[in-house]
Structure 1
Amino acid sequence: MSEELKQAILRYTGKHKQAEGVTVRPVQGLSLVQRAAPSELEHTVVSPLVCLVLQGRKRVAMDSGVSSYAAGDTMIVTGNRPTASRISQASIAKPYLALALDLDPAVITELIVNAPEACPPQVAPDTREDLRDALRRLVLLLDRPESLAVLKDGLIREIHHWLLLGRQGPAIRCLGLPDSHVRRIARAVAILRADHAQPVQIERLAAAAGMSRSAFHQHFRAITSLSPLQFQKHLRLIEARRLILSKGKNMSQVAFEVGYESASQFSREYTRMYGQPPIRDKQAASGLLAAVGAGG
């Protein structure tokens, strides 16, 4: 991997991060990660993105199985997917370094409509080096804000172009087609993300997707690997853990805030997902932070 790119990420994250392991987001949609130690298992529901690992190693479990990503590997996610991941290889001498860019359906639509060359050929070319070079140039501009303001949109467009031409081009292309099942389900997912604490209204979600109730259920599970209720549960528990670990709120307060009517049900489902009850999980996280602080 480009040493220039690694040094740029080390420099930028070192200057701007507020705590170890916190992702820095210098521009909308772009995330830079530096971590000097392996992480605990983290649950999330990822949006469509491209992630390039520059140093270290990360293991990611999705519906398709468990994958390991090392320096030079690229992960492309083309739908909203529940994942469990952990940084498995990182140290002070060689921290884990990665960058990720959210895929923008509007940019994909513009490329499909106005740039016929963005349509992938039958045999997809290897565009990995072109993609990495465009990502490198975007990151290098972070220290030149005047130039970044002028060139950022063009570079993001170029990155999407190389992705469309690559092996996952057909799946990425679906993100930009207004009437594709992926794009329709994405509208329902946006509602679930915004209103995860509210009861699920399948009729509202199906209407947003422009589908019948039965077709909506079928396509939602095919695209996200979960039912709408399971998807909402993931969102609620992910937000609950964030509130417990970062905000210091008590368990009952968190349960009701994320939409549970029963604190006992919340505790059961939290334990099922994270392997231990909320209180014990908070104590374990606090102990880890204290150990890291003592070691520093």
Structure 2
Amino acid sequence: MTNHTQNGPQAMSEDKFRALCNIVERHIAGREDRETPVPNLALFRRETTTEPVSCRVEPCIVFVLQGAKQMLIGDREYRYGADRFLIASLDLPGSSQVLEASPDKPCLGMVMRLDLRMIAELSAQVSVPTARTGADAGAAVGTMTPGLEEAFGRLLSLVDEPEAIDVLAPLIEREIHYRLLRTDVAERLLRIVSVGSQGQRIARAVDWLKTNYARPLRVEDLAAHVQMSPSSLHHHFRHLTAMSPLQYQKWLRLNEARRLMLNAHLDAAGAAFHVGYESPSQFSREYSRLFGAPPKRDIEGLAGKALPSMATV
């Protein structure tokens, strides 16, 4: 949120800011990441800076109360902290890095899932900038506004008022989505949800791949499905996700296989066939390349741990 130092803007009182930090500290209770009773809201806490950690970035908004983080997607760097928020409009492969944190002043923040249907609905009801027809990267950093900061503070405060969550959380989430359309990321969001735009077509391609990742992929068929030429699909897909459609499918397959081995206790060969691989040796090579270790050793290292959650961003 807004920088709460003596030299920074004071959109929120110091007492209110400290109260929100205390909510995060109390609710996490010694953990680094935690979902909350508020639907679609998760919290994070880090006491030290880190090297980049591979993660899956869901469509979400990330607000930092204290400290600073960085998201790496392809060759793009997105730094966000007290006065800048991260927004991702697609499921993306990334690496999350903590840039500012210490035991005395940990990096604290929250993540809220983004509802693109709500963005589309609100954009039809309010006056927003006209979106260009091109497609930007699937993530961006926006400038925090006092209204957005205040709304997010009220959403976090519901953690301490569980009886009000069912009534108030949907209203505050809708307000947050509305206020996003009053920030400098509004046009980018519109390019994802505007029917017929390149961004919206790529979002449809991503949705198809997420549902059909185990099926053989012909880029020509995917392009026809979203009404684009193969060359245009490849160009805009890579621009938004930093991957080609085939690379994105491989990333989906390998992450699902990892989840199956860890949570459903499948062996490597079983997981490989389940996600669409015909060759266990090819699966092992590509798995090692993505996760840094062969399947068995990687899963042994993860035993007892949860896979990175939404809050890791």
Asked whether the 8 Å contact 1:127–1:162 carries over to 2, the reply is no
> In structure 2, how many angstroms separate the alpha carbons of the residues matched to 1:198 and 1:208?
15
- Out of 216, 223, 226, the residue aligned to residue 243 of structure 2 is 226
Deviation at 1:40, TM superposition (A): 7.5
Asked whether the 8 Å contact 1:206–1:216 carries over to 2, the reply is yes
Q: Does 1:83 align with 2:94?
A: yes
Q: Which whole-Å deviations, capped at 9, do the CAs of 1:113-172 have from their partners, x for residues lacking one?
A: 1111x448xxxx965232121111111123334433223233222212222222222101
Q: Does 1:239 align with 2:256?
A: yes
- Out of 193, 201, 218, the residue aligned to residue 184 of structure 1 is 201
Secondary structure of 2:61's counterpart equals strand
Q: Which amino acid aligns with 1:100?
A: V
Deviation at 1:275, TM superposition (A): 2.1
Asked whether the 8 Å contact 1:127–1:165 carries over to 2, the reply is no
Task: Mark the CA change 1:254 to 1:11 in structure 2 (over 3 Å): closer, same or farther.
Answer: same
Aligned length: 281
Q: Does 1:281 align with 2:281?
A: no
Task: Mark the CA change 1:27 to 1:202 in structure 2 (over 3 Å): closer, same or farther.
Answer: farther
Deviation at 1:270, TM superposition (A): 1.3
Q: Is 127-136 or 202-211 further displaced after alignment?
A: 202-211
Task: Mark the CA change 1:126 to 1:41 in structure 2 (over 3 Å): closer, same or farther.
Answer: closer
Structure 2 equivalent of residue 9 of structure 1 = 24
Q: Which amino acid aligns with 1:244?
A: M
> In structure 2, how many angstroms separate the alpha carbons of the residues matched to 1:211 and 1:194?
19
- TM superposition score normalised by structure 2: 0.76
Q: Is 176-185 or 260-269 further displaced after alignment?
A: 176-185
- Out of 101, 105, 108, the residue aligned to residue 116 of structure 2 is 105
Q: Which runs of 5+ in 1 are unaligned?
A: 290-296
Structure 2 equivalent of residue 294 of structure 1 = none
Q: Which runs of 5+ in 2 are unaligned?
A: 5-16, 131-141, 307-313
Structure 2 equivalent of residue 24 of structure 1 = 35
Could you list the structure 1 runs, at least 4 aligned residues long, displaced by more than 6 angstroms after superposition: 37-40
- Percent identity over the alignment is 37
Asked whether the 8 Å contact 2:277–2:283 carries over to 1, the reply is yes
Task: Write 1 or 2 for the structure with the bigger share of helix.
Answer: 1
> In structure 1, how many angstroms separate the alpha carbons of the residues matched to 2:226 and 2:58?
17
Structure 2 equivalent of residue 53 of structure 1 = 64
Task: Mark the CA change 1:74 to 1:180 in structure 2 (over 3 Å): closer, same or farther.
Answer: same
Q: Does 1:143 align with 2:160?
A: yes
